[in-house]
Amino acid sequence: MIQNRTATVNPLPSSILHNGADVRSQYTRAAAAQVGQFISRKLRSWNRKAETVAQDLTQMQGGH
C-alpha cells in the first residue's frame, strides 16, 4: 500500500504557494493579529493575578 504523507499537519491551500505576495501578506497579517490577541489576553490575565496577590498581601499585613 502506498501512503501519501503531507509535510504539515494542516496543509496550506495551494493558492498560497502559487499566488503572489498579496495572498501571503494576508495570511501574515491574520497570524500577526492572532498573536497580538493572544499576548493581550495573557497580559490581562497576569494583571488580574497581580492585583489579587497585591490585595492579599495588603490584607495579610494589616492594610486597609
Residues spanned by the domain of 44: 34-59
What is the three-class DSSP state of 38?
Answer: helix
Residue 49 forms part of a structural domain:
yes
Residue 38 forms part of a structural domain:
yes
Whether 64 has a pLDDT exceeding 80, the answer reads no
In single-letter form, the type of residue at position 20 comes to: G
Q: Are 23 and 29 in contact (CB under 8 A)?
A: no
Give 4-48 pLDDT, tens digit per residue: 554 555 666 665 566 677 777 888 999 999 999 999 999 999 999
Model confidence, pTM: 0.51
Residue 4 forms part of a structural domain:
no
Spatial distance between the Cα atoms of 46 and 44, rounded to a whole number of angstroms: 5
Q: How far apart are the first and last CA of the chain?
A: 73
Spatial distance between the Cα atoms of 47 and 53, rounded to a whole number of angstroms: 10
Q: How many structural domains compose the chain?
A: 1
Residue 40 forms part of a structural domain:
yes
